[in-house]
């Protein structure tokens, strides 16, 4: 009789435990769904309002996917503008348990970005810094597993030179407005994006290409493992 009673108590404990776990998971899922809806609603409300050199929605989605597909957690962005790309990056990092450091030199854009991060509900996943990336790029310790450069294009090569040692193996260095060769020549422009592409293609430890779905030259460079 005692054994039967113990068995019933054990069974009841297991059932109640399962109910509590299911309930907790349901609450967590509900919170996650609410969070995603908030971010999506903000992005949709601003879809046609992004100016100040922000990325296109298509490129934001690419950045988001890169982080999720590779489970990146330590991200850096140079050139916040008013925060469109940072929101996509931070949204992905909210799912991988990561955080973004983003740097902007212009105070008006920086303040507007802070307001956008708050409205999107992503402030906890973003360390936004007002400063000159020309200096900060050398001061930031890293390591990083995801980097997005969308600042002054004629400094792209210098940014890369400073950040490559801080990028972990398997990490991804991305840059905006970069163009590949056309008919044996680089598409030259006043930004210097073509020179950056040429520089990254020359790096032995990297695999570099322009993402085929980007309409604004999103360069992807994966740092190969030394194994």
Tens digits of residue pLDDT in 122-181:
999 999 999 999 999 999 999 999 999 999 999 999 999 999 999 999 999 999 999 876
Query: Has this prediction a pTM greater than 0.75?
Result: yes
Judged against a pLDDT cut of 90, whether residue 23 lies above it is answered with no
In CATH, which superfamily holds the domain spanning 57-223?
A: Vaccinia Virus protein VP39 (3.40.50.150)
Q: Give the domain ranges of the chain.
A: 1-45, 57-223
In whole angstroms, give the CA distance from residue 94 to residue 75. Answer: 12
pLDDT of residue 16: 56
pLDDT tens for 72-111 read 999 999 999 999 999 999 999 999 999 999 999 999 999 9
| Distances in whole angstroms, Cα of residue 8 to Cα of each of 2, 4, 5 | 10, 6, 5
Strands across the sheet containing 206-210: 126-130, 99-104, 74-78, 144-149, 167-175, 219-223, 206-210
Report the Cα 143 to chain-centroid distance in Å.
Answer: 15
Residue 60 tokens read as 């934001």
């Amino acid at each position: 009789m005692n054994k039967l009673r113990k068995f019933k108590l054990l069974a009841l404990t297991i059932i109640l435990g399962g109910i509590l776990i299911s309930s907790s998971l349901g609450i967590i899922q509900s919170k996650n769904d609410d969070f995603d809806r908030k971010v999506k609603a903000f992005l949709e409300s601003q879809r046609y309002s992004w100016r100040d050199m922000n990325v296109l929605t298509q490129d934001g989605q690419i950045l988001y996917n890169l982080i999720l597909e590779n489970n990146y957690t330590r991200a850096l962005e140079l050139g916040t503008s008013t925060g469109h790309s940072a929101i996509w990056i931070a949204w992905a990092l909210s799912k991988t348990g990561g955080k973004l450091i983003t740097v902007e030199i212009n105070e008006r854009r920086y303040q507007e970005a802070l307001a956008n991060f708050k409205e999107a509900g992503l402030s906890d996943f973003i360390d936004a810094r007002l400063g000159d990336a020309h200096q900060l790029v050398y001061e930031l310790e890293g390591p990083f597993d995801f980097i997005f450069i969308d600042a002054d294009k004629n400094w792209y090569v210098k940014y890369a030179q400073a950040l490559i040692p801080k990028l972990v193996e398997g990490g991804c260095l991305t840059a905006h407005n970069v163009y590949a060769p056309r008919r044996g020549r680089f598409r030259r422009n006043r930004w210097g994006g073509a020179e950056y592409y040429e520089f990254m293609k020359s790096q032995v430890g990297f695999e570099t290409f322009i993402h085929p779905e980007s309409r604004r030259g999103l360069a992807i460079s994966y740092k190969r493992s030394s194994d």
